[in-house]
Amino acid sequence: TKTYRIAAIPADGIGIEVIAAGIEVLNALAGKTGTFRFRFDHFDWGSDYYKTHGAMMPADGREQIRHHDAIFFGAVGAPDVPDHISLWGLRLAICQPFDQYANVRPTRILPGITSPLRHVSGPELDWVIVRENSEGEYAGVGGRVHQGHPEEVATDVSMMTRTGVTRIIRYAFKLAQSRPRKLLTVVTKSNAQRHAMVMWDEIAAEVAQDFPDVTWDKMLVDAMTMRMVIKPETLDTIVATNLHADILSDLAAALAGSLGIAPTANINPERKFPSMFEPIHGSAFDIAGKGIANPIATFWTACQMLEHLGEAPAADRLMRAVERVTADPSLHTPDLGGRATTRQVTDAVIAAIQGDNE
């Protein structure tokens, strides 16, 4: 049997609860499958680590996880640590140096889940949002001069490179090509942002020539929010910048029922570095410690991790188990309007895995 070495970084708040649940489910799945197993190495990095060590992770942190097969990440953020410190000190400190430039966010309405879009049922909303994850608005370029004074000027420069834009658009076209509808929507704001976003449009048109079987169109990001709500069935694969896709994917998560369901994969397509799998949601300190966090987003990202590891049949088995559980409203957590606990949902998914003899 193969052993996959996974670096588990639960970090803060409900991240700790959902990663514990995810590890239980993955171990149950490996037990059921019998052809592979997991070795989870735990890293206690995050906001508590910061409070004692003055850094979110050790200086050689990345070296410690550099050779793992994947990273299973919870969520980062605490009420008493500034968000820019927790985000840049841990999540982005892993994503950017490990060149996880493709952030992949599937969105679907799972069985038993009600979308706030009244006219929409399951099959009409089936998207994958590809987020540029290495540069753009989150490149970290900018600064403040005359800080705190009336004449203060502050900038955050959205920096885009031809290489960075080309590789993410190529990734999105490939992904669109692999899906049944072969449909790609390229999102920009090239009417207002007239340098980098115009380059983005030009590169999309160039890359498109290598994918004649993919149907593609362009949308401005503001109009895109309307299309997602009004005509969700016209969308399939979507590619957007770091900031635009960050916002669009929270909207997508809400349209698919809850942030507690939405998963994401931070992929280094060249596999030079490990890729990182996490729920989209944050540490949710409003519900942390109550045992009611929805673990479904974490289970779904575990499916993405299994696919990345080359275990597609196991990923399918886990997704089947998740869908059997979401189909039962008595197993919905409070974010979905139910009363189930993290424990009950986790046990039900494990039972569904064990009872699945397909």
| 71 counts as binding ligand NAD under rule CB under 6 A | no
Q: Which of residues 323-342 bind ligand NAD (CB under 6 A)?
A: 333, 335
Whether 86 and 47 have beta carbons less than 8 Å apart is answered as yes
| 260 counts as binding ligand NAD under rule CB under 6 A | yes
Nearer to Mn ion, 81 or 331 (CB): 81
What does 311 interact with, of Mn ion, ligand NAD, none (CB < 5 to 8 A by kind)? none
Among 77, 106, 136, 274, which residue interacts with ligand NAD (rule: CB under 6 A)? 77
Strands 237-240 and 183-188: parallel
Length of the chain: 358
Report the residue closest to ligand NAD, judged by CB.
77
Cα separation of 260 and 8, whole Å?
A: 19
Using CB under 5 A, count the residues that bind Mn ion. Answer: 1
Cα separation of 83 and 204, whole Å?
A: 33
| 46 counts as binding ligand NAD under rule CB under 6 A | no
Cα separation of 132 and 104, whole Å?
A: 9
What does 246 interact with, of ligand NAD, Mn ion, none (CB < 5 to 8 A by kind)? Mn ion
Whether 253 and 223 have beta carbons less than 8 Å apart is answered as no
Angstrom CA distances, 97 to 10, 57, 61, 100, stand at 20, 14, 12, 8
What does 326 interact with, of ligand NAD, Mn ion, none (CB < 5 to 8 A by kind)? none
**Helix residue spans in the chain (DSSP H):** 14-33, 47-53, 61-65, 83-86, 92-95, 162-178, 196-208, 221-230, 242-255, 296-308, 312-326, 342-354
Cα separation of 175 and 23, whole Å?
A: 28
Cα separation of 191 and 295, whole Å?
A: 40
| Region of 22-30, 56-64, 135-143, 275-283 interacting with ligand NAD (CB under 6 A) | 275-283
Q: Minimum CB separation from Mn ion for residue 231, in Å?
A: 24
| 83 counts as binding ligand NAD under rule CB under 6 A | yes
Whether 274 and 94 have beta carbons less than 8 Å apart is answered as no
Contact map string, positions 45 to 74, toward Mn ion, x by CB under 5 A? ------------------------------
Q: Is the dihedral of CA 335, 228, 264, 328 positive or negative?
A: positive
Q: Minimum CB separation from ligand NAD for residue 276, in Å?
A: 10
Q: Minimum CB separation from ligand NAD for residue 352, in Å?
A: 19
Contact map string, positions 218 to 257, toward ligand NAD, x by CB under 6 A? ----------------------------------------
Nearer to ligand NAD, 7 or 76 (CB): 76
Among 189, 281, 308, 324, which residue interacts with ligand NAD (rule: CB under 6 A)? 281
Q: Minimum CB separation from ligand NAD for residue 346, in Å?
A: 12
Cα separation of 59 and 61, whole Å?
A: 6
Cα separation of 259 and 18, whole Å?
A: 13
Whether 120 and 108 have beta carbons less than 8 Å apart is answered as no
3-state secondary structure of 150: coil
Using CB under 6 A, count the residues that bind ligand NAD. Answer: 20
Nearer to ligand NAD, 89 or 232 (CB): 89
What does 17 interact with, of Mn ion, ligand NAD, none (CB < 5 to 8 A by kind)? none
Q: Minimum CB separation from ligand NAD for residue 102, in Å?
A: 16
Among 69, 236, 246, 335, which residue interacts with Mn ion (rule: CB under 5 A)? 246
Write out the residues near ligand NAD by the rule CB under 6 A: 14, 75-77, 83, 91, 259-260, 278, 281-284, 286-287, 293-294, 297, 333, 335
